[in-house]
Amino acid sequence: MAYYRYHVFLCTNLRDNGRQCCALSGASAARDFLKARAKELGLSGSGGIRVNAAGCLGRCAEGPTLVVYPDGVWYSYVDNEDLEEILQEHLIKGRAVGRLQLSG
């Protein structure tokens, strides 16, 4: 059994020259929000959810991105409401959120 049920990586990469990147879309604040919500709901730690910042995940053109492992499901999000939906549906209920899901 894995140490965490889900490991969530949010790209927080900042590219030079003002090129499209997750950092310019508020990714650090998104990570802070999702991490705080997981902790608030008692979902953090062994057997639960781990939320981490990541360097470039290589999908900056698709908006701010995150990936959920071990499922390998990629998402793009706009705001905290989208993140809350990913938390409630995927991370708690185990159902991917199709409207936010990226292919591959």
- Domain harbouring 90, CATH code: 3.40.30.10
Please report, in tens digits, the pLDDT of each residue of the chain (104 residues total).
679 999 999 999 988 877 788 888 899 999 999 999 999 999 999 999 999 999 999 998 898 999 999 999 999 999 999 999 999 999 999 999 999 999 87
Asked whether the beta carbons of 68 and 91 are under 8 A apart, the reply is yes
Domain-embedded: residue 25: yes
Predicted TM-score (pTM) above 0.85: yes
Domain-embedded: residue 20: yes
Residue corresponding to tokens 């959810």: 49
State how many domains the chain has.
Answer: 1
Residue corresponding to tokens 């590219």: 15
Domain-embedded: residue 48: yes
> What range does the domain containing 45 cover?
6-102
Q: Which of 74, 96, 70 shows the shortest CA–CA distance to 85?
A: 96
Domain-embedded: residue 1: no
Handedness of CA 84, 89, 92, 96 (dihedral sign): negative
